[in-house]
Chain A
Amino acid sequence: MKNSLIRPFLLSAAIAGSFGFYALNSKPTVVADPNNAGLKLLPGFGALVVAETGERARHIAITPQGNLYVKLNRPTKDGKGILELKAGPTGKATVTGGFGNYGGTGMVVKDGYLYASSDDDVFRYKLDAKGEVTNPTQPEKIITGLINRHQHEGKSIALDNAGNIYVNIGAYSNSCQVKDRQKGSLGQQNCPILDSAGGIWQFRADKPGQSYGAGTRFATGLRNVVGLDWNAQSNQLYVMQHGRDQLHDIFPELYDTKQSAELPAECMYALSKGANAGWPFLYYDPIQHKKILAPEYGGDGKKEADPKYLEPAVAYPAHTAPNALLFYTGTMFPEKYRNGAFIAFHGSWNRAPEPQKGYYIVFQPFKNGKPSGQWEVFADNFAGSPANAIAGHPDHKPCGLAQGPDGSLYVSEDKAGTIYRIVYNQK
């Protein structure tokens, strides 16, 4: 009660204060590039190139002080798998440091630590009051010995607010066939891959040296998840699955190339402990709006899967490869974006010979911690042109998302290594 009376007062004081600040200091502020960094954005939004790293920038994270950490898919020539960038007043950043001689994907800042993953392990580094890593050469290895068979090898990570870390362990297979991706090869019975992969594992965020024995298989039946984030409103983990490939190549008598391009959907799932999304036994058909029995397990494109498996929360276009998920909690963007999800789609390859698709950032509205309403493309043209996108030759492939302390949305990509910052600048 008291708070609500005081709050408007504080707010107006803050606004007055900030106007004063800008009036007194004619310092340059963050401005969008004249061409919005080549992106197509919704009205009121602008974008700038923060930095050109020239590296395969996977996931990114930002400290409360604004230091940007970038996880590289493989280390630079001088052995740096994580880059540190600092921005000047206009938002343009320079690389100020690097460490961690391993490639990987995962990068998260949480409660005074920087978490990073290789394709086998998860590390954490202590951050000081300035957002600097204090132990760049001696991180704690909190998780170790995760399966890595070079397919779906990225160990994406997310943390909840109860001291747990969630790790994707992708299936080292397309659809758990006896012979992976082989035409006509059927599914392995009970899919033994699921014992050690094809799911999300939960570990403690503060305990060194954990492997499978110390963790819990939190959710299974997920082929490969690159984008995942904790939703603090519903207190739930949301993940984006990369759906299976090559229905036509493997079962040409059941699927033509057009069907193969549109099936299956890339799905968002809301996970609770013990959830089973059904890979490899099913895929989600976004045209029939049904969970369909996989042809490797006796399906014919119409037979429905066992209803016991988890229903997707939202279905997105096939093969567009969602590589990052971020729940937006900032106040820079208009109200409708608050607590909604941004999703970075890396873009397709498995739609050929049909036109390729993706290479954009989607906004998915949420209400009370649940998806609510139609998604829309929020930032497009990472490909550089529609022709580049259709041909599958994009200039940029969005891969990571992070929210800046001021509510800006940062995007990393692993084709040219560009780091973008999207701002809202309409008053």
Chain B
Amino acid sequence: MLALLVLGASPAFAQKKTPAKAPAQKAATTGVPAAVLLKGKSVYTQSCLSCHQADGAGVDGLNPPLGKTDYVLGDKTRLINVLLNGLQGQDINGEPYHNVMPSQDYLTDQQMADVLTYVRNSFGNKASVVTVAEVKAVRGAKK
């Protein structure tokens, strides 16, 4: 009797399944060339995805999300410095994240500009591009 109940419960449950969330990968409409976004996505996949995840949503308590945060959408110098120096122990949108983000300074200025432009125009974000000159200036100031 109870076994029947258990069996009976599973199809009912399956019907309640919510559809999988559509990945937030809409191309930006800010006039960012598709080729730049494509290059940026390729760097993202190689260097960022395993922690920040394919949809940029991050991981609770470990790796912060990249959608709609001041860190991504705000001051570009600060954002470039996150890639150059890494980040640890900073609350993002009031939440702590415990994993260490290592420095990504092995990326070229071009790769950094592409991936930051991609991140600023993906996952529901829409913000200005990051140029190679901007990355170069911040990296130069660091030395």
Measured between beta carbons, the chain B residues less than 8 angstroms from A252 are 46
Contact-size category for B: 35 or more
A181/B102 contact (C-beta < 8 A), A249-B50, A415-B60 known: yes
* Cα distance A147–B88 in the bound complex, in angstroms: 17
A interface footprint on B45-76 (CB within 8 Å = 1, 0 otherwise): 11101110111010111110000000000000
A182/B102 contact (C-beta < 8 A), A38-B13, A150-B89, A387-B17 known: yes
Measured between beta carbons, the chain B residues less than 8 angstroms from A41 are 6
Contact present for B50 and A35 (CB under 8 Å): no
B141 at the interface (CB under 8 A from A): no
Contact present for A151 and B3 (CB under 8 Å): no
Measured between beta carbons, the chain B residues less than 8 angstroms from A96 are none
Contact present for A181 and B9 (CB under 8 Å): no
Of B2, B47, B61, the contact of A425 (CB 8 Å cutoff): B2
* Number of residue pairs spanning A and B whose beta carbons lie under 8 angstroms apart: 95
Provide the main secondary structure of the chain A interface: loop
Contact present for B13 and A381 (CB under 8 Å): yes
B12 at the interface (CB under 8 A from A): yes
Of A174, A257, A385, the contact of B17 (CB 8 Å cutoff): A385
B10 at the interface (CB under 8 A from A): yes
Contact present for A153 and B98 (CB under 8 Å): yes
Measured between beta carbons, the chain A residues less than 8 angstroms from B54 are 352-353
* Cα distance A388–B5 in the bound complex, in angstroms: 25
Among A43-51, A59-67, A266-274, the stretch in contact with B: A43-51
Question: Could you name 29 residue pairs across A and B whose Cβ atoms are closer than 8 Å?
Answer: A40-B10, A40-B13, A41-B6, A43-B6, A44-B2, A44-B6, A150-B96, A151-B99, A180-B102, A183-B47, A183-B106, A185-B102, A249-B50, A252-B46, A257-B50, A349-B62, A349-B63, A352-B50, A352-B54, A353-B50, A353-B54, A384-B18, A385-B18, A385-B20, A387-B19, A387-B20, A390-B20, A393-B21, A415-B60
